[in-house]
């Protein structure tokens, strides 16, 4: 489908010669020559956005003043937060977030029909690729059958979802589905879909070149910024609006420059580097900002390492972590099978239009920081947040401090406390001889357990996630660690659940070509699937005796994974401490099986002759790794593995589905249901009303993530979601996960604020999705919300700092809205979740003047009123009256985080999709 561009002005539209062909493009130097401003010193990341303004300038949505604002940005030292309308070239989805997005599109077709509009108006205008990568679960592991058995179970569990996605592929234009078992969306994007410079015909039939840009319904869409493709995660709601032609309303961002110098030293990995970067940028504070990496250090930094750093932008809080185009970009494009014409166009366009990183690249930044890569040391992060950086030689002592804090605080689960009380008190830990009773307390022997487990036992070691499995240097490194361990006679500890879930089939190709898959198999890292597994909670069940011992004695079991997130309750319901590490370290920790061991200095085991083996004995050199990467990671491997990327295996080809414009919603489905958003919708929008008589549903602390608000992992039959499925005759074995059920609003409403580790401060020390109902008694958040809804009572949520950090899951906002929450008042918000709340008609507010939930002494029995909303303007402060349980009241000022004028319209319509639907209905 042709792209629609703005006015064809001779001022900025030029022709670029590439080889023997010519192509039109929008020139930034030409914009300077035309007197529109000074742009040469802008960061490359911002030039991508500027080009977007030039291409879509129409005097209405994008004006000449919007273009000039970028020049003012440079003159003001990298600050000029003007509202602009940005149009990404394409949209990327994964199935957990993609299914509800397609559900919304299907519901919008029903909705536009009800408004008398044309059903075919609900069609993506921009290309959309959905990669099914979040549904494989590790049921089987540690044996040659694991991959096929997990794939078989995946299809058994998810057939309803796959039938629905196949319907969507046929029903919607510009919508492609990459079948299960292919790889993780970000790796498929990096290795195949992305082009760095995109081309398409405009409405006049002329071919136009422009920067490859996208938004994705997964926060780690940022990974492709390592390839100089500007992209970031948005909620499914915002992505749907973008694919339907709605520009993304945003402020011109600040851009923080991160200068990299020096070179990585022997024994360190790209993972060690990114964990340090995450710590530094979290400390710096870059939420809502672009980060651009520059400096001579990039000359020796492979694109795989750049992609690892870019991937974790959500973990350091930035909108994106961008790397400009340079020689390494071109090398990667060639090596991954992109054709010569594409590579030639990227080079010519980047150099001609000012996107190229040359030796003298030194743009204006809002702020800067720097890092000498020669100072990087081996490291991990944990046990609860990606920014909790720990140098490897301090890992065991830091774990000891964590355990001591838990035990001193009596931080035990209610179930364990109840069992201890029934048995006459908690079991006394015994000291390990020679340990002086320090950090190895908590060793318990369960008569039903196969092994002696204790605080710190590593029960999961997983090479998983888009972050590191995209990087052949760390994957080859992991294989070499396994080879050397195998040669010495070391093996994983029997209580460790090991798994290997690469981000693409190319990884298996080069591991097999190097002979390393056999070594990984030998120490338990058999292939379990291609997709997101442990990193998003699809770790599968632990062996029953191990799970029982952990829960009976409230042990702090641990996991070590090569992922990007380790939030509480995310990895496994049996695991309390989670650590992020490089793939080679994941293998090493599986051999040790215990976080209490100082693997940097102490023996990690004994060889066949009983001699101590140290980490250095099995750690490969950079030269060994580089040699194998050069030999096995080939252009031919990428070309062969992506030759039929949309075809899928026989199982996918046999998925049967219907052929119709609108979806015939199966009444009995527990996976896909028609959501209530557009049912009975009027043709005209409403108005924004003041909030009166609102009650408090929850008071939450700092760093409440979208995992806390809308968990993705497993759930029990005793939860509201479990009871719903049980009532619909779904056996517990078939529950699957919250993530896989995102096409059913009934399950997801019940799962909102239902993370097993969430703590509602209205209750004293209780974990899980509980609150006080209208009668003042403890109940589930879902049941309380339904009772309030029946009484017609609006609800508010109070939160702390970084509310909504983490994944770009729109269900964290959808569930909040469906529970009847009208406002969320927090100290500050992470970017994506704030946008999602607005997109669902829920108004975010921030405390001002030093007020917090704590200084206000909130208990949860208050009544809240917010006025000034009927005349609200972007970022306006409005009065909020809190009436306490004793009848006293206090008025505070809170800042409305409706950030732009268009967002006010979204709220008036009840959400962005309602706005788009009414607009399309009117147009048709």
Q: What is the pLDDT of residue 2?
A: 56
* Average pLDDT of the residues in 579-590: 96
Residue pair 34/12 in contact (Cβ under 8 Å)? The answer is yes
β-pair type (453-454, 821-826): unpaired
Residues 364 and 241 in one domain: yes
Higher-confidence residue: 554 or 886? Answer: 886
Q: Is this prediction's pTM over 0.75?
A: yes
* Average pLDDT of the residues in 303-312: 94
Residue 316's H or E segment, with its range, is helix 313-316
Most confident of 529-538, 571-580, 787-796: 787-796
- Give residue-wise pLDDT tens across range 828-882: 998 889 999 999 999 999 999 999 999 999 999 999 999 999 999 999 999 999 9
Place of tokens 């039938």: 163
Residue 383, helix vs strand vs coil? coil
Residue 593, helix vs strand vs coil? coil
Place of tokens 């720990």: 390
Neighbours of 646 (CB within 10 A): 13
Residues 726 and 751 in one domain: yes
Residue 225 lies in a domain: yes
Residue pair 778/772 in contact (Cβ under 8 Å)? The answer is yes
Residue 628, CA distances (Å) to 306, 337, 478, 505, 617 in order: 20, 19, 12, 17, 19
Residue 708 lies in a domain: yes
Q: What is the pLDDT of residue 440?
A: 38
Residues 434 and 411 in one domain: yes
Task: With a cut of 70, say whether residue 404 has pLDDT above it.
Answer: yes
Q: Which residue among 326, 351, 375 closes a domain?
A: 375
- Give residue-wise pLDDT tens across range 664-716: 999 999 999 999 999 888 999 999 999 999 999 999 999 999 989 998 888 99
Q: What is the pLDDT of residue 563?
A: 83
- Give residue-wise pLDDT tens across range 338-352: 999 999 999 999 999
Residue 63: name the closest of 25, 16, 27, 9 by CA. 9
Task: With a cut of 50, say whether residue 648 has pLDDT above it.
Answer: yes
User: Rounded mean pLDDT of the chain?
Assistant: 90
| Per-position b or e across 835-872, b if 16+ CB within 10 A of its CB | bbbbbbbbbbbbbeeebebeebebebebbbbbebbeeb
Give phi and psi for 527, each to the nearest 5. -60, 130
* Average pLDDT of the residues in 394-415: 74
Q: What is the pLDDT of residue 900?
A: 87
Q: What is the pLDDT of residue 447?
A: 41
- Give residue-wise pLDDT tens across range 707-757: 899 988 889 999 999 999 999 999 998 898 898 899 999 999 999 999 988
Place of tokens 């009773």: 437
Residues 361 and 410 in one domain: no
Residues 387 and 355 in one domain: no
Residue pair 586/461 in contact (Cβ under 8 Å)? The answer is yes
What's the token pair of residue 598?
A: 């100082």
Please state, in angstroms and rounded to a whole number, the distance separating the CA atoms of residues 836 and 215: 14
Here the CATH number for the domain that contains residue 362 is: 3.30.499.10
Please state, in angstroms and rounded to a whole number, the distance separating the CA atoms of residues 107 and 914: 11
Residue 22 lies in a domain: no
Please state, in angstroms and rounded to a whole number, the distance separating the CA atoms of residues 418 and 758: 19
Range of the domain at 335: 90-375
Residue 834: name the closest of 851, 850, 813 by CA. 813
Please state, in angstroms and rounded to a whole number, the distance separating the CA atoms of residues 560 and 566: 9
* Torsional sign, CA 75, 80, 82, 86: positive
Residues 383 and 354 in one domain: no
Q: Which residue among 614, 633, 652 closes a domain?
A: 633
**pLDDT confidence bin for 479, thresholds 50/70/90:** very high
Residue 464, helix vs strand vs coil? coil
Q: What is the pLDDT of residue 433?
A: 32
Task: With a cut of 50, say whether residue 284 has pLDDT above it.
Answer: yes
* Average pLDDT of the residues in 405-426: 46
Q: What is the pLDDT of residue 665?
A: 94
Place of tokens 């997801």: 748
* Average pLDDT of the residues in 59-75: 94
Residue pair 124/244 in contact (Cβ under 8 Å)? The answer is yes
Residue 38 lies in a domain: no
Q: What is the pLDDT of residue 87?
A: 95
Half-sphere exposure of residue 359, counting CA atoms within 13 Å on the CB side? 0
Contacts of 170 (CB under 8 A, 6+ apart): 657, 659
* Average pLDDT of the residues in 608-622: 96
Here the CATH number for the domain that contains residue 708 is: 3.20.19.10
Residues 609 and 756 in one domain: no
**pLDDT confidence bin for 10, thresholds 50/70/90:** low
Residue 388 lies in a domain: yes
* Average pLDDT of the residues in 378-391: 92
Residues 368 and 386 in one domain: no
Beta strands per DSSP E along 515-557: none
Residues 704 and 818 in one domain: yes
Q: How far is CA 646 from the centre of its chain?
A: 24
Q: What is the pLDDT of residue 418?
A: 36
- Give the number of domains in the chain: 3
In the chain, % of residues over pLDDT 90: 71
Residue 301: name the closest of 328, 320, 340 by CA. 328
**pLDDT confidence bin for 4, thresholds 50/70/90:** low
Residues 307 and 401 in one domain: no
Residue 228 lies in a domain: yes
Q: What is the pLDDT of residue 860?
A: 97
- Give residue-wise pLDDT tens across range 225-243: 999 999 999 888 888 888 8
Residues 237 and 339 in one domain: yes
Please state, in angstroms and rounded to a whole number, the distance separating the CA atoms of residues 910 and 687: 9
Q: Which residue among 375, 403, 436 closes a domain?
A: 375
Residue 675 lies in a domain: no
Residue 537 per-residue DSSP state: T
Residue 258 lies in a domain: yes
Q: What is the pLDDT of residue 96?
A: 83
Residues 384 and 419 in one domain: yes
**pLDDT confidence bin for 584, thresholds 50/70/90:** very high
- Give residue-wise pLDDT tens across range 788-843: 999 999 999 999 999 998 777 889 999 999 999 999 999 999 888 999 999 999 99
β-pair type (770-772, 778-780): antiparallel
Q: What is the pLDDT of residue 3?
A: 61
* Average pLDDT of the residues in 478-494: 97
């Amino acid at each position: 489908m042709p792209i629609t561009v703005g006015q064809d002005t001779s001022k900025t539209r030029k022709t670029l010669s590439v080889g023997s062909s010519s192509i039109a493009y929008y020139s930034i130097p030409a914009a300077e020559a035309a007197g529109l401003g000074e742009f040469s010193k802008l960061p490359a990341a911002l030039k991508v956005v500027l080009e977007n303004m030039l291409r879509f300038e129409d005097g209405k949505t994008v004006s000449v003043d919007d273009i000039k604002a970028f020049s003012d940005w440079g003159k003001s030292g990298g600050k000029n937060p003007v509202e602009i309308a940005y149009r990404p070239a394409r949209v990327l989805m994964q199935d957990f977030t993609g299914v509800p997005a397609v559900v919304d599109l299907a519901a919008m077709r029903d909705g536009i029909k009800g408004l008398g509009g044309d059903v075919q108006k609900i069609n993506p205008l921009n290309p959309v690729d959905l990669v099914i990568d979040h549904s494989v679960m590790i049921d089987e592991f540690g044996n040659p059958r694991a991959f096929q058995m997990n794939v078989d179970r995946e299809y058994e569990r998810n057939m309803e979802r796959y039938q629905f996605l196949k319907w969507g592929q046929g029903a919607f234009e510009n919508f492609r589905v990459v079948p299960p078992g292919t790889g993780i969306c970000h790796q498929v994007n990096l290795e195949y879909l992305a082009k760095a410079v995109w081309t398409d015909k405009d409405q006049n039939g002329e071919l136009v070149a422009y920067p490859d840009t996208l938004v994705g319904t997964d926060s780690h869409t940022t990974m492709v910024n390592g390839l100089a493709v500007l992209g970031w995660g948005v909620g499914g709601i915002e992505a749907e609006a973008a694919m339907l032609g709605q520009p993304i309303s945003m402020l011109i961002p600040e851009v923080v420059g991160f200068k990299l110098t020096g070179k990585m030293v022997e024994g360190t990995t790209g993972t060690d580097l990114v964990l340090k970067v995450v710590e530094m940028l979290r400390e710096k504070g870059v939420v809502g900002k672009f980060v651009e990496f520059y400096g001579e250090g990039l000359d020796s930094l492979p694109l795989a390492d750049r992609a690892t750093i870019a991937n974790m932008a959500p973990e350091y809080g930035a909108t994106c972590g961008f790397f400009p185009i340079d020689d390494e970009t071109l090398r990667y494009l060639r090596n991954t099978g992109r054709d010569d014409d594409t590579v030639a166009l990227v080079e010519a366009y980047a150099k001609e239009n000012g996107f190229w990183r040359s030796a003298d690249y030194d743009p204006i930044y809002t702020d800067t920081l720097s890092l000498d890569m020669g100072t990087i040391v081996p490291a991990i992060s944990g046990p609860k947040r990606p920014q909790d950086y720990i140098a490897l030689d301090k890992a065991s002592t830091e774990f000891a401090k964590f355990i001591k804090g838990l035990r001193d605080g009596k931080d035990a689960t209610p179930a364990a406390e109840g069992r201890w009380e029934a048995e006459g008190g908690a079991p006394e830990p015994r000291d390990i001889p020679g340990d002086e009773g320090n950090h190895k307390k908590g060793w318990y022997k369960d008569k039903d357990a196969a092994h002696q487990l204790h605080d710190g036992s590593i029960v999961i070691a997983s090479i998983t996630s888009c972050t590191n499995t995209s990087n052949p240097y760390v994957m080859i490194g992991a294989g070499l660690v396994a080879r050397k361990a195998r040669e010495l006679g070391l093996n994983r500890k029997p209580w460790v659940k090991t798994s290997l879930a690469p981000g693409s089939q190319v990884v298996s190709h080069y591991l097999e070509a190097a002979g390393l898959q056999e070594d990984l198999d030998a120490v338990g890292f058999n292939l379990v699937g291609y997709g997101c597994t442990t990193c998003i909670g699809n770790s599968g069940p632990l062996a029953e005796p191990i799970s029982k011992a952990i829960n009976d004695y409230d042990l702090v079991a641990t996991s070590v994974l090569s992922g990007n997130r380790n939030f509480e309750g995310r990895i496994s319901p049996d695991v309390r401490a989670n650590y992020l590490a490089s793939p080679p370290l994941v293998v090493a920790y599986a051999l040790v099986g215990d976080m209490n061991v100082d693997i940097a200095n102490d023996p990690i085991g004994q060889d066949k002759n009983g001699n101590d083996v140290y980490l250095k004995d099995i750690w490969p050199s950079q030269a060994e790794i580089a040699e194998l990467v050069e030999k096995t990671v080939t252009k031919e491997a990428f070309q062969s593995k992506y030759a039929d990327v949309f075809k899928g295996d026989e199982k996918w080809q046999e998925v049967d589905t219907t052929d119709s414009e609108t979806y015939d919603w199966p009444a009995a489905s527990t996976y896909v249901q028609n959501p209530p958003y557009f049912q009975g919708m009027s043709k005209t929008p409403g108005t924004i009303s003041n909030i009166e008589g609102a009650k408090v549903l929850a008071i939450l602390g700092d760093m409440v993530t979208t995992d806390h608000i809308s968990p993705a992992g497993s759930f029990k039959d005793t939860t509201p979601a479990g009871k719903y499925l049980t009532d619909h005759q779904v056996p517990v074995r078939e529950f699957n996960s919250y993530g896989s059920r995102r096409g059913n609003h009934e399950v997801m409403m019940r799962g909102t604020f239902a993370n097993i580790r969430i703590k509602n401060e209205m209750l004293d020390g209780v974990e899980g999705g509980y609150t006080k109902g209208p009668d003042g008694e403890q109940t589930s958040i879902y049941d309380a919300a339904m009772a309030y809804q029946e009484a017609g009572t609006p609800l508010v949520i109070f939160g702390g700092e970084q509310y909504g950090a983490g994944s770009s899951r729109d269900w964290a906002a959808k569930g909040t809205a469906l529970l009847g929450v009208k406002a969320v008042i927090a100290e500050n918000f992470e970017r994506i979740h704030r946008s999602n709340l607005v997109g669902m008609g829920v108004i975010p507010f921030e405390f001002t003047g030093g007020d917090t939930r704590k200084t206000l002494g909130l208990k949860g029995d208050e009544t809240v009123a917010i006025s000034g909303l009927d005349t609200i303007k972007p970022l306006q402060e409005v009065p909020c009256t809190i009436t306490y349980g004793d009848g006293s009241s206090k008025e505070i000022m809170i800042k409305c985080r409706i950030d732009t004028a268009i967002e006010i319209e979204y709220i008036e319509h009840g959400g962005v999709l309602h706005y788009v639907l009414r607009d399309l209905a009117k147009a048709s």
